[in-house]
């Protein structure tokens, strides 16, 4: 653990934690309110007083995609905390220079903003998100990496698609030739699916790609069209299960 918690008194604590900058908005004459995804406490809002002054070091570091080490004085019951110190861990120079990188990195930020709740702890998701931004900065394989991340965040926030056996007759999917899916029932074997309404059809190849996304082995990568299909499928899956989630806008505006 890279952070420490020092008890100042019963009411508040000094916290040192890593954080990814998700969003910043101007506030009053000279300040900014920033939404950060912290390693210790999940998503949190902070006020940075005087952030818009050229002399504000913290203000300069509060920029979307930056990974920071921050220190703040955590007061319980306060919606917005105050950052007292910030140091840069990682600035993703290449993400800002490449529209494709920017598109997928923005989609990651958007998912963290829309799918996590303030102060709900997601340490594993933090590590995965820090890693994906680093990979986007370094590699050119954004779409497939994003698909893997989308599967990862879907699981991390508590939604898992049953990929083991048919939701109706429980036949293992290893014994069926293709699958059909609808949001109410889930994944169905070929026999159960053929007379039912479905939203998605999975060839064995597409199904295996979906099933392999959670494994560390990156061998089955699928075609570009299949990657698009699965991104679209998972986006729809999240929209069906999370009422207030209205899709991944970043994927459509770039
Ligand atoms: Zn079945």
- Which pLDDT tens digits describe the chain residue by residue (254 residues)? 445 555 544 578 899 999 999 999 999 999 999 999 999 999 999 999 999 998 999 999 999 999 999 999 998 888 899 999 999 999 999 999 999 999 999 999 999 999 999 999 999 999 999 999 999 999 999 999 999 999 999 999 999 999 999 999 999 998 888 999 999 999 999 999 999 999 999 999 999 999 999 887 666 788 999 999 999 999 999 999 999 999 999 999 87
| CA of residue 180 to ligand 1 center, whole Å | 10
| CA of residue 194 to ligand 1 center, whole Å | 10
Q: Looking at the DSSP assignment, which residues form a beta bridge with residue 45?
A: 35, 80
| CA of residue 45 to ligand 1 center, whole Å | 47
Strands (E), the chain: 5-7, 13-27, 31-38, 42-48, 67-74, 80-90, 178-182, 186-189, 200-203
| CA of residue 193 to ligand 1 center, whole Å | 7
* Strand order, beta sheet including 186-189: 186-189, 178-182, 200-203
Which H or E run contains 113? helix 99-115
Answer yes or no: are the C-beta atoms of 210 and 71 closer than 8 Å: no
Distance CA 234, CA 247 (A): 10
Please report the pLDDT score of residue 192 as a whole number.
94
| CA of residue 211 to ligand 1 center, whole Å | 18
Which CATH number is associated with domain 1-91?
Answer: 2.40.50.140
Please report the pLDDT score of residue 215 as a whole number.
80
Q: Cβ–Cβ contacts within 10 Å for residue 103, how many?
A: 19
| CA of residue 154 to ligand 1 center, whole Å | 24
Domain boundaries, the chain: 1-91, 162-253
Structure tokens at 190: 């070929």
| CA of residue 177 to ligand 1 center, whole Å | 11
Write down how long the chain is: 254
Distance CA 134, CA 61 (A): 17
Angle at 122 between CA 120 and CA 126, to 5 degrees: 130
| CA of residue 173 to ligand 1 center, whole Å | 9
Q: With 0.75 as the threshold, say if the pTM is over it.
A: yes
| CA of residue 196 to ligand 1 center, whole Å | 11
| CA of residue 161 to ligand 1 center, whole Å | 15
Please report the pLDDT score of residue 175 as a whole number.
86
Largest separation between any pair of C-alpha atoms in the chain: 67
| CA of residue 242 to ligand 1 center, whole Å | 26
Distance CA 116, CA 129 (A): 13
| CA of residue 217 to ligand 1 center, whole Å | 28
Please report the pLDDT score of residue 2 as a whole number.
46
Structure tokens at 192: 């159960």
Structure tokens at 49: 């007083």
Answer yes or no: are the C-beta atoms of 128 and 156 closer than 8 Å: yes
| CA of residue 167 to ligand 1 center, whole Å | 7
Sign of CA dihedral 120, 121, 124, 129: positive
Angle at 71 between CA 91 and CA 14, to 5 degrees: 160
| CA of residue 191 to ligand 1 center, whole Å | 6
| CA of residue 189 to ligand 1 center, whole Å | 4
Q: Which of 30, 34, 120, 115 is nearest to 70 (CA)?
A: 34
């Amino acid at each position: 653990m890279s952070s420490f918690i020092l008890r100042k008194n019963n009411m508040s604590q000094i916290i040192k934690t890593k954080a990814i900058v998700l969003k910043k908005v101007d506030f009053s004459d000279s300040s900014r309110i920033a939404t950060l995804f912290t390693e210790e406490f999940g998503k949190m809002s902070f006020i940075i007083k005087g952030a818009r002054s050229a002399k504000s070091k913290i203000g300069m570091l509060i920029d979307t995609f930056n990974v920071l080490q921050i220190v703040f004085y955590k007061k319980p019951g306060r919606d917005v905390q105050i950052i007292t110190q910030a140091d840069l861990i990682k600035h993703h120079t290449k993400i800002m220079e490449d529209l494709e990188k920017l598109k997928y990195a923005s989609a990651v930020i958007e998912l963290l903003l829309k799918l996590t709740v303030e102060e709900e702890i997601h340490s594993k998701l933090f590590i995965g998100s820090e890693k994906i931004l680093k990979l986007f900065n370094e590699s050119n394989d954004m779409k497939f990496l994003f698909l893997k991340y989308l599967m990862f965040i879907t699981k991390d926030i508590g939604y898992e698609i049953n990929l083991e056996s048919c939701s109706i007759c429980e036949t293992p999917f290893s014994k069926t030739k293709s699958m059909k899916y609808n949001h109410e029932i889930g994944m169905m074997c070929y026999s159960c699916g053929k007379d039912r309404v479905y939203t998605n059809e999975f060839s064995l190849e597409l199904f295996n790609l979906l099933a392999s996304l959670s494994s560390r082995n990156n061998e089955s990568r699928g075609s570009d069209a299949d990657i698009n299909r699965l991104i679209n499928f998972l986006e729809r899956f999240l929209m069906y299960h999370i009422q207030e989630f209205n899709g991944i806008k970043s994927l459509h505006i770039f």
